[in-house]
Amino acid sequence: MTAQTRVCDAAELGKWLEQWIEWRATEPTSDELDKIRDELGDDAVRRKLRQRPAPDLPLGVDEWCRHLSRLEELASAGCQFGLDDLTAAEWRGRSAYRAARERFWRRYRPCPGCERPILRIARGHDCGWRSSEQ
């Protein structure tokens, strides 16, 4: 089996997409990194980035996930794809991406403050939002 065929396997791709989406969701924003750099310096930024190693995905899968994510961004920005605009693998990949994203948002609720996912049971969030629930 070639690497390309493997990437198109829906079940495997779905599993990888879930790992990738969760990893991307924990990515610090550039504002967060700037704040850490200002307050604690470059070493603290490097430590923060080392705390979240990339998921162990097969070669090329990270690029494929990024590509599918970019296609979804374009679609949600209003770009309409015709049947001939994307390959069959891209159409299948987009369905797998949307399904994986739905599974992700069923597991984690969005923060009322910044709309990024709250990944741990917490009364507050990195952005500064605090729950009034006790």
Minimal distance, residue 31 CB to Zn ion, in Å:
12
86 Cβ neighbours under 8 A, 6+ residues apart: 71, 94
- Interface residues for Zn ion in 92-111 (CB under 5 A)? 111
Distance between start and end Cα atoms, the chain = 54
Closest by CA position to 92, among listed 67, 60, 63: 67
CB closer to Zn ion out of 58 and 110: 110
CB closer to Zn ion out of 11 and 121: 121
Minimal distance, residue 105 CB to Zn ion, in Å:
15
| Count of alpha carbons within 13 angstroms of residue 17, beta-carbon side | 27
**119 binds Zn ion per the rule CB under 5 A:** no
Chain residues that interact with Zn ion, rule: CB under 5 A: 111, 113-114, 125, 127, 129
